[in-house]
Amino acid sequence: MPQRLSRFFIVLISALLLSGLAFADSTVNMTFIGPGGNNGGGVYTYPYNFSINGGPSTPLICDTFDNEVVSGETWTATVSNLLSGTGLFGSNPSDYKAAGLIFEGITGGTINATVGNWAIWGLFSQNAINNPFYLSSGAGTLASQYLIAAASAPDSAFSGLVLYTPVAGTQSWGGLPQEYIGYGHVSAPEPASLAMLGMVLLTLGAATRKRFGVQAAKN
């Protein structure tokens, strides 16, 4: 019986700890801290720094050239798998795959952040393509290369990449915010979860003391 009880508490504690994770298809609160400083063509590029659910600064990349955000702006976003087909641009697996590969190249240090961000914008925006910087920087060539690579890339190549898609009407400023690509993150557990976890630990401690007390009495 004590062994069964211990296993039950271990499972329960694990479930409570996992409740602090931001899984795909969840909803999070976004606060735009500000851009990281890179820019090209008169536009800030990756990284865009965010606090997600009140957590520490997290760098994300924007895929939405035609929308605008301002520092300090807040909104609600849905978190979904990069290839879920539920982003702002609908079911465009080739474009999202190319964007994911470019983002991985940026974070891996093999693609210039500014050129890579412009290449991603060009996948989803004709306005970005028409911007002189798109061609002069080589972003157009980069986008074409990665569209070809995306055609043969397995879904496993995009493991961990998620979309942060804004929920219309939740923004604190202006029109619909931008959509962002990033890696799945861990947020702080909710206070209620922490309180319940504390109760579980206290109960587990009491059960453990009782178990060893019984064993001592038998010896």
For 24-38, write each residue's pLDDT tens digit. 569 999 999 999 999
Prediction pTM value = 0.76
Residue 72 lies in a domain: yes
Contact between residue 62 and residue 180 where contact means Cβ atoms under 8 Å apart: yes
pLDDT digits (tens, 9 = 90+) for 70-128: 999 999 999 999 999 999 999 889 999 999 999 999 999 999 999 999 999 999 999 99
Residue 100 lies in a domain: yes
Residue 8 lies in a domain: no
Instruction: Return the pLDDT at 16.
Output: 39
Domain that holds residue 84: 24-210
Residue 46 lies in a domain: yes
Instruction: Return the pLDDT at 214.
Output: 40
pLDDT digits (tens, 9 = 90+) for 175-187: 999 999 999 854 4
Instruction: Report the domain count for the chain.
Output: 1
User: What is the Cα–Cα distance from 81 to 161, expressed in whole angstroms?
Assistant: 6
Residue 192 lies in a domain: yes
pLDDT (average), residues 161-166: 98
